[in-house]
Structure 1
């Protein structure tokens, strides 16, 4: 009996570890499967999904974790997140939408603001106070100094006539001669103060300093120091940029859509957010040389000289309009290769993507032909941030959710 008890104890001791190990393995299986496996995706490329950290093979960004078991297709943000993302909404309703025909144009110098500075007397340019183009000058600023022998001769002639008039005050003929000599000096831009100083000093001064007759930018220099210029010869050109021409090319068939006196919108390249109103002043009835294009022209103000001649501009001609349509700002609509969607605020702080079909569009608004109804509360700013946040949190394209909720 003792031998049997001994063998049974030996068998129990040898089998117990195996039984305990198997039990541990069995109980360990549920523990390993207790929680969901983490999943990682790229914020910029949601098609990249894997079950471990790493980097995106497309853009190299670090993958971020997301809960793939979350089937909620909406995003919920608190008030601080909404303010930080600058998310604003509007209740969509029916209204009018105007279409536009876009013409390519450019800015040009307004000839009415251009002035050619020419020499009033023949002579030699002794000093040129502005020696390069692009310099801004103000009205009354000295531009150049000229030496003129002819002016010296006229001054001497006036001194003699004035002396004769003083010596024979009763002789009207000498008074007329003095008056004629004074008028000659005035024609050479000699001011009354300069003529009076000439009388007091009794010395001729062949040097004349000419000031700017208007403010502007020096666009062209025609002389250099020491150069002789004839009477009326050009010295420099001043251009004023406070008002610019807008020139646009259009085909003869397009000319029927616009008339002189009509108001159109102008968008300067780089300043599309600040469209300008322009009145069409002129449409050239003849085609441009070597082309089948006509030319439209108007003027726009140029505050602070922010724009320069030669810049590209677009002219928007109204060509058609629709009434009783649903329209949203262009930035509210998100487009990619899979479709078009907007974001709807279903309740306070809760946003959902909605697939839509667009129709007519202009530079700042787009028609929503299908997918929305009057009264829907649509996100108009911050839509792209919601798009990125959805990918970051859900690891999927919002269009997949929008397609499932389309109505």
Structure 2
């Protein structure tokens, strides 16, 4: 009996290595199959990884395949891909960087472009050719027609003076009276052509039509048809918008950094990509009522009247500068919740992400405080396309790969 049990034990022991070998082969086979299995990720959220097609649980985008075994940190593109993505590079070097302080401002109507149309004669407004605000008028365009008994009296006086001069051509006194009567008509905005027409017709005309003295927008109407107006009474106001004021608020402690004649940049809300150059023309020495703020002012052109008074505008005021620092265009630096990086072209068509630390920044450029050296070839356009392409091909955030290659 003991002999049979001994033989059974020997048999089991001899089978164990074979069983272990078979198990190892099966495990290796499964691992190889798992390695060959296709993996999918979300282009926008690379942390989403699964081994079958589907949609991203965060944003709903279709998952895309990627090779999770590709550990190469670099991204290689051919010439056609580089051209299609508009990828350009620049060799970084030391230079100067000016910082800016942003001042809150607004666009305001330029008073020099504002005209008040007033009646040159007392009378009744017979016809308004422009009856609402917001209407654009051109110089010389008829604006209103007025009936004036006083004008009719002055015309009659002038006709009598002319008749006296004809009857007594050598009388200097009558000539002086005729000259004075003509000047009165001219002061009432009667043109030489209108006076000549009066002489030819020998009939007074109590109606006079007033044209626009400049082009602009009707911003205010002060009368209605049938209303009587006095001499010099306002009829309407025209505002020209082809040039606008820019006013900005500034604290007294900051005023020493500003001076008349200084050139600054102006960013109009909605047109931030089209900064305007402005010269500071005036600094109000008095504080605004009810505040501790001063005002600075300048003018900018307004082509095609595309901006309206009241629009927000920011002034970028230079406040400090740094010399001998590495700088890049702002668009070359990619920022997300995990950090900041740029793309380096190591060799022709081979790009790598590089983590950087930024410093002072202005509207155009940013200081690279750490992560780059003078002479590095940095991508300045197309960086975001490289970022997306990296996620698509490798299924990982470039920052995760670049963290092991930070210099």
The within-5 A match list for 1:285-364 is: 285-364=285-364
The answer as to 2:240 corresponding to 1:268 is: no
Aligned counterpart, 1:39: 39
The within-5 A match list for 1:6-405 is: 30=29, 33=32, 36-405=36-405
| Unmatched tracts of structure 2, length 5 or more | 1-21
- Tell me the CA shift for residue 273 of structure 1: 2.0
- Tell me the CA shift for residue 33 of structure 1: 4.5
CA distance in 2, matches of 1:32, 1:69: 13
CA distance in 2, matches of 1:388, 1:122: 74
- Tell me the CA shift for residue 103 of structure 1: 0.6
Aligned counterpart, 1:14: none
Greater mean deviation of Cα atoms: 298-307 or 102-111: 298-307
Q: Give the match's secondary structure for 1:297.
A: strand
- Tell me the CA shift for residue 95 of structure 1: 0.3
Greater mean deviation of Cα atoms: 34-43 or 115-124: 34-43
Q: Give the match's secondary structure for 1:190.
A: coil
Greater mean deviation of Cα atoms: 74-83 or 315-324: 74-83
- Tell me the CA shift for residue 30 of structure 1: 4.7
Aligned residues between the structures: 383
Q: Give the match's secondary structure for 1:260.
A: coil
Q: Give the match's secondary structure for 2:255.
A: helix
CA distance in 1, matches of 2:118, 2:327: 57
CA distance in 1, matches of 2:226, 2:397: 74
Runs of 4+ more than 3 Å apart: 29-35
Provide TM-score, normalisation by structure 2. Answer: 0.91
Greater mean deviation of Cα atoms: 248-257 or 134-143: 134-143
RMSD of aligned alpha carbons: 1.7
Q: Give the match's secondary structure for 2:173.
A: helix
CA distance in 2, matches of 1:196, 1:293: 58
Q: CA 1:32–1:93 in 2, change beyond 3 Å: closer, same or farther?
A: closer
Deviations 1:219-240 (A, max 9, x none): 1111112211111111111111
| Unmatched tracts of structure 1, length 5 or more | 1-22
